[in-house]
Chain A
Amino acid sequence: MQISKKINVTNIVIWIVLAVMLLFTMTPIIFMISASMMERNQIMRMPFSWIPESFNRENFIKAVAGNDQSYIFVRNLSNSLFVSSTVAITTVLIASLTGYGLAKFRFRGRNTIFIMIMATMMIPFEAIMIPLYMVVMMLRIQNTYTGLILPFLVSAFGVFQMRQYLTTFPTEFLDAARVDGMGEFGIYWRIVLPNCMPVIATLSILSFRSQWDNLLWPLLVSQTKEMKTIPQYISTFALERNTDEGAMMAAALLASIPMFILFMSLTKYFIGGAAIYESRKG
């Protein structure tokens, strides 16, 4: 299709809309970075000056030391990293195993099981958190990592993605491996899993992020400050430090760095991960 390159009014309007949107999405992030380095009196100055007058280290020291100098930030950050990575790993492992079973084996009840797993996608976590909370209290795993992780071990969406992907996987490869005498579990581990890398990448990012962002469940499960996760840390810190905007922004920035690193190194899978929902409608 030949696109004429004449500059007309429509094009100018389009560029203005795109630029305004760019300002809207980026300024709060730039504000966070800029304010994290500022003295308090510079942040609340009108009009706001975007360039920090000096680098105020104090903000970051306060953010990490916490309100009681306990440095619990480090523990809370590690908790979040641990919980999110564990959930990402178990989701990938169990979802791929199930997806493989559903895609490449024939057994009685296979379709029923598939439909049942799909049906759980209609049950939102927010609607079952009270019963889950009662289960956790009953099992006495409140305030433990098990309690934080257990309800998120697998996702139905993950099973679905894996099954869709593996349905197109050539069965001849599997049969060839069987003829060579490879065991069924070995085939899964050494042939199927290594060939699912694109789905594994998007799925693990999705699971990692959803736990990294999770505030509600840790609020229910974590009781002592040692067991809190980073969203809870930020929320408590913001509450107790609500007049110290520089330190709040420093804490927010530090808490976002792992996600920034992941995003910059795996942009393709983040954007692709958003787009796989699109394929669901087919």
Chain B
Amino acid sequence: MGMKKYRGIEKKQARWGFFFVVPSLLFFSLFSFYPIINAFYTSLFDKRALSKAPPDFLGLGNYIRLFDPSRAASELSFLNSLRATLVFTVGTFIPLLILSLLLAVFISNLSSRKAKKFLQIAYYTPAILSSVVAATIWMIIFDPRGLGNQWVNTLMNTPGVDHRWLVDPVMEQVSTMVIYFWKYIGYFIILFITGLASIPSTIYEAATIDGATKNQVFWRITLPLLKPTVVLVSVMAMLQCLKTFSTQYMLYTNGAPRAPINVITFNIYVTGIQQQYLGRASAMSVVLFLLMLVLTLLQFKTTNSEQVEY
């Protein structure tokens, strides 16, 4: 009889467990799984918002159009968006990765706890501002008479030169990278500091006793042990950069040329929402999704196959 009663409790328990999970399950089905399936489906049609008639089936037509080389010359083509996104991602995540690692190592080696804490908080502060506020501040700094020109001209001893931060196609891309770098550097420094703190100090002690120099310690011990964090931070930084929208939107609406900074998300917004080509915008979304999926899977693969043991 005891056994039977126990089974009854277990069954009841199972029901409660399921009941607790149902709200999330419903939510994710409706607002994650359904939309991504819908994006795949819609991308096969010539769907436009205003037309009441059922949309024409295009098959892979939308995708063929996106990757049509003859359209590449057109300024606002999807191929240009891919280019803009890749340039932005590479140009932002490499400096982010290298400098955040370097600064995290520097901060971790400081002996004063107060200095450590102060620097972490100070470097992190830009991250609490919203992207729109960040872009607004930097747009004024990048004004022809603004601080940007004053700083660069003082550093390079080129008085009176206007670097056309928001006008020149190349400089405009550099500007978006500077804004993004500024906002996220503190965040990635903290990730690295946490990673560094998880390396046991006995390893360093042993190395110092064996007579290793600081340089050797960094290249032979710290960096290899930090590899999982490096992979994690790189992928996170890349995913973050692929999703960039607000900075580019702000610069464009305030008069900067669109083509150099017409990143994928911005193109999806303009094509899908402003021009109401929902099918074409869905195809772009699917490409963005696949790009990010590949990166995430790559991250899982590398982090799972290279568990570090101390």
Which A residues lie at the B interface, using CB under 8 A? 1, 3, 5, 10, 14, 17-18, 21-22, 24-29, 31-32, 35, 43-44, 46-48, 94-95, 97-98, 100-102, 104-110, 113, 116-117, 120-135, 137, 150-151, 153-154, 156, 159, 184, 188, 209, 212-213, 215-216, 219-220, 230-231, 234-235, 238-239, 242, 245, 248-249, 251-252, 255-256, 259-260, 262-263, 267, 270-271, 274-275, 277-278, 280-281
23 contacts between A and B (CB under 8 A): A18-B103, A25-B123, A97-B23, A100-B20, A120-B28, A121-B296, A124-B239, A124-B292, A126-B264, A130-B285, A131-B38, A131-B282, A135-B35, A151-B31, A156-B28, A216-B265, A220-B269, A235-B250, A239-B253, A249-B136, A263-B128, A275-B190, A278-B232
Name which of B59-67, B69-77, B143-151, B167-175 contacts chain A.
B143-151
**Chain A residue contacts of B137, Cβ below 8 A:** 28-29, 31-32, 249, 252
What's the nearest-Cβ distance from chain B to residue A267, in Å? 6
Contact with A along B105-141 (1 / 0, CB 8 A): 0110101000000011111111111111110111111
**Chain A residue contacts of B89, Cβ below 8 A:** none
Given known pairs A26-B125, A105-B20, A126-B288, the reply for A10 and B136 (CB within 8 Å) is no
Q: A107-B13, A281-B228 are in contact. List 10 more A-B contacts (CB 8 A).
A: A14-B109, A28-B137, A48-B147, A121-B296, A129-B268, A130-B278, A213-B132, A235-B249, A238-B254, A256-B128
**Chain B residue contacts of A245, Cβ below 8 A:** 140, 143
What's the nearest-Cβ distance from chain B to residue A24, in Å? 7
Contact with A along B241-253 (1 / 0, CB 8 A): 0010110011001
Residue on B nearest A245 in the bound complex, by CB: B140
Residue on A nearest B31 in the bound complex, by CB: A151
Cross-chain contact A256 with B21 (CB below 8 angstroms): no
**Chain B residue contacts of A159, Cβ below 8 A:** 24
Whole-angstrom CA separation of A24 from B141 in the bound complex: 12
- 6 nearest A-B residue pairs (beta carbon): A105-B17, A101-B20, A128-B35, A131-B35, A107-B14, A127-B289
Residue B16 at the chain A interface, CB threshold 8 Å: yes
Contact with A along B222-249 (1 / 0, CB 8 A): 0000001100100010010001011001
**Chain B residue contacts of A100, Cβ below 8 A:** 20
Whole-angstrom CA separation of A44 from B145 in the bound complex: 6
Cross-chain contact A122 with B140 (CB below 8 angstroms): no
Contact with A along B42-80 (1 / 0, CB 8 A): 100000010000000000000000000000000000000
Whole-angstrom CA separation of A198 from B16 in the bound complex: 25
Whole-angstrom CA separation of A127 from B187 in the bound complex: 24
Residue B194 at the chain A interface, CB threshold 8 Å: yes
Cross-chain contact B126 with A102 (CB below 8 angstroms): no
Residue on B nearest A15 in the bound complex, by CB: B106
* Best-buried of A35, A100, A219, A235 by chain B (most CB within 10 Å): A235
Cross-chain contact A153 with B27 (CB below 8 angstroms): yes
Cross-chain contact B20 with A188 (CB below 8 angstroms): yes
* Those of B18-40 within 8 Å (CB) of chain A: 18-21, 23-25, 27-28, 30-36, 38-39
Cross-chain contact A28 with B126 (CB below 8 angstroms): yes
Whole-angstrom CA separation of A216 from B272 in the bound complex: 13
What's the nearest-Cβ distance from chain B to residue A195, in Å? 16
Given known pairs A255-B130, A256-B130, A259-B130, the reply for A116 and B28 (CB within 8 Å) is yes
Cross-chain contact B205 with A263 (CB below 8 angstroms): no
Cross-chain contact A101 with B21 (CB below 8 angstroms): yes
